[in-house]
Amino acid sequence: MSLDPVLTRIDADLPHALDRLMALMRIPSISTDPAHARDCTAAAEWLAEDLRSIGFEARPHQTPGRPMVLGNGGESGPHLLFYGHYDVQPVDPLELWHRDPFDPAIEETPRGRVIRGRGASDDKGQLMTFVEACRAWKAVHGTLPARLTMFFEGEEESGSPSLVPFLQENTEALRADLALICDTGLFDAETPGIVTMLRGLVGEEITVTGPSKDLHSGMYGGPAMNPIRVLARILAALHDSDGRVTVPGFYEGVADLPEAVARQWQDLGFDAQAFLGEVGLSEPAGEAGSTALEMIWSRPTCEINGIHGGYTGAGFKTVLPSQASAKVSFRLVGEQDPLRIRDSFRAMVRGMLPPDCEVAFEEHGASAAAQMAIDAPAFERARAALSAEWPKPAAFIGSGGSIPVAGHFKRILGMDSMLIGFAHDDDAIHSPNEKYDVESFHKGIRSWARILAALSS
């Protein structure tokens, strides 16, 4: 099936595609707010109806939370699963919005036209790029270029409590050759990326207790053990002088970056000083010998996210506290085992406790990293297809954050994911005045059409 008439159709239909996106954006599908439960159902029904209009068999599926939308279309070719989410973040603080968050509009900005409104970039605009690519294929050729399963979640912005059970209960219906996820962004305005590395996460809260109550430091300072001093020594010991994490066994499962990927990252021309300069910093502070991009995308980290103990109010109070606590997070890569790292961290902390102190732990999640098999031919075909649409060649990139659904697809469904998105860093997702560039929407649709052609050829 020829690609060129599909691209021509996408260009001609862009005004109508924008109208459809804004119709979806007008539905206030805030998943975390029970008051918007009916709106989430309405968004799911809207999407199912839209999929049916282009030949998919589609319907919402009820869950204990918000509905999931499943749609199936196409008769031959590889089986591809496309994932997106239709739910959006709350709009607070409302007074900082320049317009009604659920009355979207096209606005002119110095950089070009943007779609303004909640969900424009995260994730309705991104989700609809794929739907519109399918619409153009169907309009031109009367069929789809592959067997496609559409899977739209309604709880991504509220922790996805129904996702894993739904995957486990619908494994056969959802398992495909490859998953396509559109919830990421461009590397820069001219360079698209395929995210192939997602870091995992372990969150731990530790509380050190010493004396049975807060003490006057003039009376007890010296002979009484201070939990803040104990905690500070523990936290300071988590890194050595080269920035490496000292938790025993921490680097088990961390592989070297493939040379071909390292070259791609070097060609991106990432300016670490400019990146840090935007937040008032100048020098990378992580592991010696790693570039800033490597530290963000392919190296594990240990970070202290909060400390509390003693008197922290206005003025001064000479207290020796009974307790001191800290929140510590570990970003994981490769084959690192989050549960083993949690156990090793706790053993390290216990081993550093002096007499008269005890420690309590509270876990805040543990998920493994996800790394895609980029040596599979589909990944290079998709990269070439993306490169044909954008000014600069696409690259296989990493993500500093964690996108759990890709790991769930790998673990439960046994398939890799391509994470391809067209958002910009300044889209203000989760913030007032969220936007999505019209160019991102337009070229995103064209990009998916090219990728579908490449994967089904």
Identify the helix (H) or strand (E) that includes residue 359: strand 358-367
List the CATH number of the domain containing 151: 3.40.630.10
User: Which residue has 């959802």 as its token pair?
Assistant: 174
Judge if 134 and 230 occupy the same domain.
Answer: no
Per-residue pLDDT of the chain (457 residues; tens, 9 = 90+): 899 999 999 999 999 999 999 999 999 999 999 999 999 999 999 999 999 999 999 999 999 999 999 999 999 999 999 999 999 999 999 999 999 999 999 999 998 999 999 999 999 999 999 999 999 999 999 999 999 999 999 999 998 999 999 999 999 999 999 999 999 999 999 999 999 999 999 999 999 999 999 999 999 999 999 999 999 999 999 999 999 999 999 999 999 999 989 999 999 999 999 999 999 999 889 999 999 999 999 999 999 999 999 999 999 999 999 999 999 999 999 999 999 999 999 999 999 999 999 999 999 988 889 889 888 999 999 999 999 999 999 999 998 877 889 989 999 999 999 999 999 999 999 999 999 999 999 999 999 999 999 999 8
Contacts 24+ apart (CB under 8 A), 32-35: 32/89, 32/90, 32/157, 32/158, 33/90
User: Do 170 and 205 belong to one domain?
Assistant: no
Asked if 191 and 232 sit in the same domain, the reply is: no
* Inside any domain, residue 440: yes
**Residue 457's pLDDT is what?**
83
Report residue 73 as tokens: 């279309």
Domain boundary among 322, 338, 367: 367
Alpha helices in 221-359 (DSSP H): 227-236, 259-267, 272-277, 292-297, 338-351
Q: Are residues 315 and 444 in the same domain?
A: no
Q: Are residues 58 and 181 in the same domain?
A: yes
Q: Which SS3 state, helix, strand or coil, does residue 215 take?
A: strand
Strand, helix or coil at 163? helix
Residues 41 and 170 in one domain: yes
Whether residue 211 contacts residue 225, with contact meaning beta carbons closer than 8 Å, is answered with yes
Contact of 190 with 391, CB cutoff 8 Å: yes
Element housing 59 (H / E): strand 57-61
- Does 267 map to a domain? no
- How far is it, in rounded angstroms, from Cα 42 to Cα 26? 11
Number of folded domains that form the chain = 2
Q: Could you tell me if 88 and 237 lie in one domain? A: no
**Final residue belonging to a domain, choices 342, 367, 392:** 367
| Residue in this structure with the two tokens 């190296």, named with its chain if needed | 299
97, part of any domain: yes
Q: Are residues 242 and 378 in the same domain?
A: no
Asked whether residue 87 falls in the same domain as residue 160, the answer is yes
Instruction: Choose the final residue of a domain: 346, 367, 388.
Output: 367
Q: How many other C-beta atoms can be found within 10 angstroms of the C-beta atom of residue 276?
A: 15
Q: State the pLDDT at residue 371.
A: 87
Do 420 and 320 lie in one domain? The reply is no
Q: Are strands 178-181 and 79-85 parallel, antiparallel or unpaired?
A: parallel
Alpha-carbon gap, residue 132 to 118, rounded angstroms: 20
Domain of residue 118 covers 4-198+372-456
Q: Which amino acid is located at 291 in the chain?
A: T
In a domain, 224, yes or no: yes
Q: Do residues 386 and 245 both lie within one domain? A: no
Helix axes 124-141, 37-53, angle to 10 degrees: 20
**251 to 266, 287, 335, 368, 407: CA distances (angstroms):** 24, 12, 9, 14, 20
Instruction: Establish if 293 belongs to a structural domain.
Output: no
Q: What is the CATH number of the domain that holds 323?
A: 3.30.70.360
Q: For residue 177, is it within any domain?
A: yes
The model's pTM is 0.87
pLDDT at 393: 96
The answer to whether residue 265 sits within a structural domain is no
